[in-house]
Amino acid sequence: MDGVGESSKSGSGVSSSQLMKNGAFCDEESCPKQVSPIRVGGSRNTSPLGRVGSRNTSPSRQKVIKTKPRGLDEETVATFGKVVHPDIQMEDNIWAMLPEDLLNEILARVPPFMIFRLRSVCKRWNSILQDNSFLKFHSQVPSHGPCLLTFWKNSQTPQCSIFSLPLKVWYRIPFNFLPQWAFWLVGSSGGLVCFSGLDGLTFKALVCNPLTQTWRTLPNMNYNQQRQLIMVVDRTDKSFKVIATSDIYGDKSLPTEVYDSKIDKWTVHQIMPAVNLCSSKMAYCDSRLYLETLSPLGLMMYRLDSGYWEHIPAKFPRSLLDGYLVAGTQKRLFLVGRIGLYSTLQSMRIWELDHAKIMWVEISRMPPKYFRALLRLSAERFECFGQDNLICFTSWNQGKGLLYDVDKKLWSWIAGCALQSYNSQGCTLMTT
């Protein structure tokens, strides 16, 4: 997970918080059992003299029947919340004698959200895990993998739960190091998380690193109005940018502003042409920002390198009720939404933009059993977001989370999502 930067500011009075693992959110995984054949009584001669030429009924020759445990179907097998085996106890004296460089190599490969727990092991580990050189080394190791991040405020105290998809475990992170005005979750990128809010009458934004619990308040924008924001991280030069588009109340006279962490300032760019937006949801991929428009119909694309807006006449599929733009890897851009005017005929589908033909091509449909479980009512609200060709669906009324892997074409429930993300104020996928 990349740091906010050398010039990052830590919240005053912030202490390192230890993550708590909620093991109750993982379901047990049943294992196939062997069932021995049932012996039926009778007058059959089983004496040694009578077994000449008869069938061998010794245990080594008995047929083994493998059965599937009841209630274990393909849906359960594919669930991301499989059982996690308990930690293996190791000898204290072995870890105490490890050389410094070897210990750093081992700890650098620990998933980011477990570092909080390891700080309480001993003073030596606590010192290593908070050292800037170690944190920089930790950010250079291969990615831990995608995580689902949910954010809410409990009695005005920011709380965050993160579900590790590779480890299938929920982690709780108290966000008490953030200022009180940081209320709305903007999104995450490259291990950093962006928030926005109103500090009195001033609209502000900040970027934080949950691992180091450091944060930076961005300078005030040139136009002090509540804006739609999106953050992107460039891992090559360890920098990030925040793009502010139109006003959330529909003021089309505001120019686009871009914050660059390398120069620590907002720059004013072109005003987005007068269009009627379908949704405030945005997607960023391949240095381009996309928004849905009704008039003119299609997409508005903002080129970050040139700072100009451009209209793409990609017509939406027929009978599309609600659509979400989701950014995939490289240049892949997905459209996710419900199709059908009547509740009995509705279905959830996924399209991909063909950049050459400027048209949406259907690539997948949500199976009916998942659709009925996720959205029981035709007008029920759902959220959709994604990262790295993973698309996540959440239904706040049902309190469920569903994940679709575009590459593997696999649908899977996210275990424990009902307890973690219900009534959450924000939810996003992040890569650590």
Q: Which pLDDT belongs to residue 327?
A: 92
- One domain, residues 295 and 222: yes
Nearest-angstrom CA–CA distance, 227 and 211: 27
Side chain identity at residue 196, one-letter code = S
- One domain, residues 261 and 357: no
Structure confidence at residue 177 as a pLDDT band (50, 70, 90): confident
Structure confidence at residue 351 as a pLDDT band (50, 70, 90): very high
Is 191 a domain residue?
Answer: yes
Is 69 a domain residue?
Answer: no
Nearest-angstrom CA–CA distance, 276 and 260: 28
- One domain, residues 258 and 375: no
List Cβ neighbours of 77 (8 Å cut-off, separation of 6 or more): none
CATH of the domain at 221: 2.120.10.80
Instruction: Provide the whole-model pTM.
Output: 0.71
How many other CB atoms are there within 10 angstroms of residue 213's CB atom? 20
Is 25 a domain residue?
Answer: no
Is 219 a domain residue?
Answer: yes
- One domain, residues 104 and 225: no
Is 142 a domain residue?
Answer: no
| 76/309: higher pLDDT | 309
Q: Choose the final residue of a domain: 291, 313, 335.
A: 313
- One domain, residues 211 and 263: yes
- One domain, residues 209 and 309: yes
Phi, psi of 417 (to 5 degrees): -65, -30
- What strands, in cross-sheet order, belong to the sheet with 202-209? 9-10, 214-217, 202-209, 192-199, 184-189
Q: Which pLDDT belongs to residue 9?
A: 44
Q: Choose the final residue of a domain: 313, 346, 380.
A: 313
Q: Which pLDDT belongs to residue 43?
A: 44
- One domain, residues 302 and 374: no
Nearest-angstrom CA–CA distance, 241 and 231: 6
The conformation of residue 125, written as its DSSP 8-state character, comes to H
Q: Choose the final residue of a domain: 79, 112, 136.
A: 136
Nearest-angstrom CA–CA distance, 46 and 52: 10
424: its two tokens? 């959450």
| 71/358: higher pLDDT | 358
- One domain, residues 338 and 244: no
| 279/148: higher pLDDT | 148
Number of domains in the chain: 3
Location of structure tokens 């924001």: 229
- One domain, residues 326 and 384: yes
Question: pLDDT by residue (tens digit) across 187-196?
Answer: 888 888 999 9
List Cβ neighbours of 206 (8 Å cut-off, separation of 6 or more): 178, 179, 182, 194, 195, 196, 215, 216, 217, 218
Q: Which pLDDT belongs to residue 45?
A: 47
Is 412 a domain residue?
Answer: yes
| 37/369: higher pLDDT | 369
334 pLDDT exceeds 90?
A: yes
Is 271 a domain residue?
Answer: yes
Is 384 a domain residue?
Answer: yes
- One domain, residues 184 and 307: yes
How buried is residue 85: exposed, middle or buried, by Cβ count under 10 Å (0-12/13-18/19+)? exposed
Task: Write out the residue range of the structural domain in which residue 127 sits.
Answer: 100-136
- One domain, residues 187 and 303: yes
Nearest-angstrom CA–CA distance, 109 and 146: 15
Q: Which pLDDT belongs to residue 16?
A: 29
- One domain, residues 412 and 386: yes
Q: Which of 345-354, 397-406, 422-431 has the lowest mean pLDDT?
A: 422-431
432 pLDDT exceeds 80?
A: no
